[in-house]
């Protein structure tokens, strides 16, 4: 349990000391909330590819630090300027944004001019300060405005969205990033027309969420491409009409056969694999669209035939978070889940917070799709 002091409270958190190091549980001091922050007591937190990329050093988040960015819990304290959520309210924590730039003012916070610093590489608040410390030594915080691999977090109030009490925490946690990104990449970015042929490259949490999103559209043929048979089986359950195991396979030839050489009207690339992106673009029919979601290591490049892109009128569209505004996107996802149209529970495997390294290994080797860490006070 936390110990309140004039400087804040203690919290049990998973610290990464340096790139490639394991998660180590430590008792840290959490500072009181600033005027635009809330303190949230976590029920659960999803584990996402971005967390593991930051742990490995592929994302240059400063360390030592605390990662985690799919938190759900209850507000236990709020800053003086926070009025839209109350103490005791249950919230999902998503990404944060500045609230002042043109993108934020136009309800497009995922394209905030400060997004990379506030969410990925800053390691603290916008002024560089950290909310976490270990015997006065700063521990880098505010990953995606929260750093939710911790029992308690100081989160940006812009990052929290009120949610109902009757939905399981393991279902709510992935809404803040993975499910939100996948579903809205399908429904709001690709927007397939009735009868379209589409493919999703990568059947991880984001890719399978994209499949769930496509099931809400009029797409008639949905192909899932991955290298794990178990994930492809799940893809069929979630609406894929066809699957391709890319291991040792000519994906382009398989797509041509499945579409009767017509090609794809749309593709969503979620794996972050350069070869998969190139295959997705090459597999498009004239006028087709490839939505790029997956992010490889920083600085990596993919190639495509520019003449072919121009001659066939192809579109290559990048999206961050599926272009979603969490304040409106997350309540809609909750309602779709309640209607039985978004079976998020099929993606989730729960792990005790203390088993965070086991969850990491299970995610990396493909044994689980979406690990969710559950926090239980001793």
Tokens of 339: 């209607």
Domain with CATH 3.40.50.720 in the chain: 182-320
pLDDT tens by residue, 8-27: 789 999 999 999 999 999 99
Place of tokens 């505004």: 325
Tokens of 130: 């950290």
pLDDT of 224 reads: 98
- Listed in sequence order, the residues at least 6 apart from 69 whose beta carbon sits closer than 8 Å to its beta carbon are 48, 50, 51, 93, 95, 119, 143, 144, 145, 146, 147, 148, 176, 177
Q: What's the CA dihedral at 260, 246, 184, 240 to 10 degrees?
A: 60
Q: What's the CATH class of domain 4-162+343-374?
A: alpha beta
Domain with CATH 3.90.180.10 in the chain: 4-162+343-374
* Residue 85 to residue 80: CA distance in whole angstroms: 12
pLDDT tens by residue, 154-176: 999 999 999 999 999 999 999 99
Tokens of 41: 């007591």
- Listed in sequence order, the residues at least 6 apart from 327 whose beta carbon sits closer than 8 Å to its beta carbon are 161
3-state secondary structure of 112: coil
Domain 182-320 is found in CATH 3.50.50.60: no
The pTM score is: 0.94
Q: Are 130 and 66 in contact (CB under 8 A)?
A: no
In 300-363, beta strands by DSSP E: 315-318, 348-352
> What average pLDDT does the chain have?
94
Tell me the CA distances in angstroms from 196 to 25, 292, 299, 316, one per residue in order.
Answer: 48, 18, 33, 17
Q: Which parts of the chain have pLDDT scores under 70?
A: 1-7, 377-378
pLDDT tens by residue, 335-375: 999 999 999 999 999 999 999 999 999 999 989 999 999 99
């Amino acid at each position: 349990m936390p110990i309140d002091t004039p400087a804040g409270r203690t919290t049990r958190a998973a610290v990464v000391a340096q790139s490639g190091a394991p998660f180590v549980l430590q008792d840290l001091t959490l500072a009181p909330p600033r005027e635009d922050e809330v303190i949230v007591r976590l029920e659960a937190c999803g584990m996402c590819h971005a967390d593991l990329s930051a742990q490995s050093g592929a994302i240059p988040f400063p360390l030592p630090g605390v990662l985690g960015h799919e938190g759900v819990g209850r507000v236990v304290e709020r800053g003086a300027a926070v009025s839209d959520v109350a103490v005791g309210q249950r919230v999902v924590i998503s990404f944060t944004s500045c609230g002042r730039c043109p993108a934020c003012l136009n309800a497009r916070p995922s394209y905030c001019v400060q997004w990379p610093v506030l969410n990925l590489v800053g390691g603290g608040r916008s002024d560089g300060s950290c909310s976490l410390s270990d015997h006065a030594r700063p521990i880098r915080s505010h990953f995606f405005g929260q750093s939710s691999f911790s029992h308690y977090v100081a989160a940006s109030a812009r990052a929290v969205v009120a949610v109902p009490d009757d939905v399981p925490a393991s279902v709510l946690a992935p809404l803040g990033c993975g499910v939100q990104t996948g579903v809205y990449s399908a429904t709001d970015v690709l927007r397939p027309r009735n009868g379209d042929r589409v493919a999703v490259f990568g059947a991880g949490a984001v890719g399978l969420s994209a499949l769930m999103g496509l099931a809400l559209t009029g797409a008639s043929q949905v192909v899932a491409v991955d290298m794990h048979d178990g994930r492809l089986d799940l893809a069929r359950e979630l609406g894929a009409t066809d699957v391709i195991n890319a291991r040792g396979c000519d994906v382009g030839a398989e797509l041509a056969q499945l579409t009767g050489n017509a090609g794809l009207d749309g593709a969503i690339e979620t794996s972050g694999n350069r070869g998969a992106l190139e295959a997705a673009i090459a597999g498009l029919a004239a006028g087709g669209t490839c939505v790029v979601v997956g992010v490889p290591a920083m600085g990596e490049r993919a190639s495509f035939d520019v003449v072919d892109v121009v001659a066939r009128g192809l579109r290559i569209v990048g999206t961050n978070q599926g272009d979603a505004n969490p304040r409106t996107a997350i309540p809609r996802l909750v309602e779709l889940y309640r209607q039985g149209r978004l079976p998020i529970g099929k993606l989730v495997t729960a792990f005790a917070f203390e088993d965070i390294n086991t969850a990491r290994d299970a995610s990396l080797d493909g044994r689980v799709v979406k690990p969710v860490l559950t926090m239980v006070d001793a």
